[in-house]
Amino acid sequence: MIHRRTISAISHAKQGRPAQAEKLFRRAIVHAPKHLGARINLGELLITTNRGEQARTVLHEAHKLAPSTPPSCNNLTSLVTRR
């Protein structure tokens, strides 16, 4: 179920429907708080919709879950360097 929500959210994001994508990513996180993919993708979505502070919070949580995972490190670094 969580994987399906995340895939659907990614599809919405790619089709230019960020509000729907965000809703699905957040639902996935509520149902599986340790789901790294949903957090990273939500962070990326928040970056692309110019919500850097929200993205920072989400990506920081992803980084805490998996500090050595490249996507969580890369996205957080990317966000910090945009400041």
In terms of pTM, does the model score above 0.75?
Answer: yes
Show the domain range for 43: 2-81
Per-residue pLDDT tens over the stretch 56-82: 999 989 888 888 777 655 665 565 555
Q: With 0-12 CB in 10 A as exposed, 13-18 as middle and 19+ as buried, what is 21?
A: buried
State the average pLDDT over residues 31-59: 93
How many domains, the chain? Answer: 1
Alpha-carbon distance of 30 to 17, in angstroms, equals 20
Q: What are phi and psi of 32, to 5 degrees?
A: -145, 80
Q: Taking all residues of the chain, what is their mean pLDDT, rounded to a whole number?
A: 86
8 A C-beta contact, residue 36 and residue 69: yes
Question: Which residue would you say has higher pLDDT here, 21 or 75?
Answer: 21
CATH label of the domain that carries residue 34: 1.25.40.10
